Amino acid sequence: MATKIIATATRVEIAGTALGNAITSCDIQGEAETKETTGFSDTNRTYAVGFKNWTATLNFHHDFTDNALNELLFGWWGTSQTFKARLTGSTIAADNPEFQGTVIFTSVPLFNANVGEVSGGSITLQGTGTLVRAVS
Partner 1 sequence: MASPEILTNAGLWIAGYDLQSNLNAIAISAEAQAEDVTTFGDPNRTYAVGVKRALYSGAGLLDAPAEAELQTDWGLSNLALTIAKATTINSVAFVGKVLLGQLQQSRSVNAPWTFSLNGEMCDRGFGRGRVMENQAAVTATGTGTGRQLRAISSGFKAFATLHVLSVSGTTPSLTVILESDDNSGFTSPATRATFTAATLVGGQHTSVDGPITDDYWRFKWTVSGTTPSFAFVCALGFEQPV
Give me the residues that bind partner 1 (CB under 8 A), please: 19-22, 51-54, 61-65, 68-72, 74-75, 77-80, 104-120, 126-131
Q: Are 31 and 53 in contact (CB under 8 A)?
A: yes
> To the nearest whole angstrom, how small is the minimum distance from the Cβ of residue 44 to partner 1?
27
Q: Are 84 and 92 in contact (CB under 8 A)?
A: no
Angle at 86 between CA 83 and CA 88, to 5 degrees: 140
Report the DSSP beta bridge partners of residue 103. 81, 127
Residue 110 or 134 with smaller CB distance to partner 1: 110
Phi-psi region of 78 (alpha: psi -120 to 50; beta: other; left: phi over 0): left
CA dihedral 103, 16, 90, 12 (to 10 degrees): -40
Residue 38 or 106 with smaller CB distance to partner 1: 106
> To the nearest whole angstrom, how small is the minimum distance from the Cβ of residue 2 to partner 1?
29
> To the nearest whole angstrom, how small is the minimum distance from the Cβ of residue 131 to partner 1?
7
Residue 33 or 95 with smaller CB distance to partner 1: 33
Residue 40 or 51 with smaller CB distance to partner 1: 51
> To the nearest whole angstrom, how small is the minimum distance from the Cβ of residue 86 to partner 1?
19
